[in-house]
Structure 1
C-alpha cells in the first residue's frame, strides 16, 4: 500500500491523470517476496491513480564494501565472505532497496 500511496502523491504533485506502468527496483535483501508483491499490486491499485497499471520488477544485485581489500563486491547472502580476499569484514551497500524506479503516465 505504501507504493500506491507514493504513486498517488507523485501523481498529485505532477498533475498526472493516470499511471499505466510502474517499474520497481527490488533487492534480494529487501524482505519482499516478488510473487506476492506482483499478486497484491493488482489488488492494491484498484480505484487508485494506477488502476490497471502494469508492474515491471527490476531485481537488483546485492553488493558489499570489503574493509580488507577496499573494494565493492557482489554477494549472494548477507554474511558471505569477500569473493576477492575471503575477509568477513563486509558491510552491505546494496540489495536492500524497494523503490519506484520509473512510472509511465497515460496521456
Structure 2
C-alpha cells in the first residue's frame, strides 16, 4: 500500500511548512492526486488520518482533487484529455505521438493553518 508511504512523506512536509510559518495547527490540507499515480482516494484518506495522529495536522480537513489524465499530441499539436490511462492513440487525430502531461504523484496544493 503505497498510500501509507505517500501520506507519511506528505505529513513530514506539512509539519516542516507549519513550523516554518509558525503555525500552531494545520486545519485543512488540499491535495491533488496525479492522474497516473495509481492512488486509491479512499485508502489515501484513511492513511492520512492515521499518519496525522499526534501531529500538528491531527483532525484537519482533507480535500482531495483528482487531476485530469492529459497528454500533448505532437501530431495534432493539442492537449487531449484521456478517459482511461491505457490510451495509446490520440482521441482527436488517432496519432501515436503522445506525451503525458499529467502527474504521477500527489501534490500539496494548499494548507490552512492557525497561527500561534
Same structural fold, with TM-score higher than 0.5 when normalized by the shorter chain: yes
In the TM superposition, what whole-angstrom CA distance separates every residue of 1:23-67 from its partner, at most 9, and x where no partner exists?
100122112111100111111000111011111101110110101
**Alignment partner, residue 104 of structure 2:** 96
Q: CA RMSD of the aligned region, Å?
A: 1.3
Gaps (5+ residues) in structure 1?
A: none
Contact 2:71/2:82 (8 A) holds in 1? yes
Gaps (5+ residues) in structure 2?
A: 1-7
1:77 aligns with 2:95: no
* DSSP-derived class of the 2:101 partner: strand
- TM-score normalised to the size of structure 1? 0.92
Q: Which of structure 1's runs of 4+ aligned residues deviate more than 4 A?
A: none
**Alignment partner, residue 15 of structure 2:** 8
TM-superposed CA distance for 1:88, in Å, is 1.6
Give the length in aligned residue pairs: 107
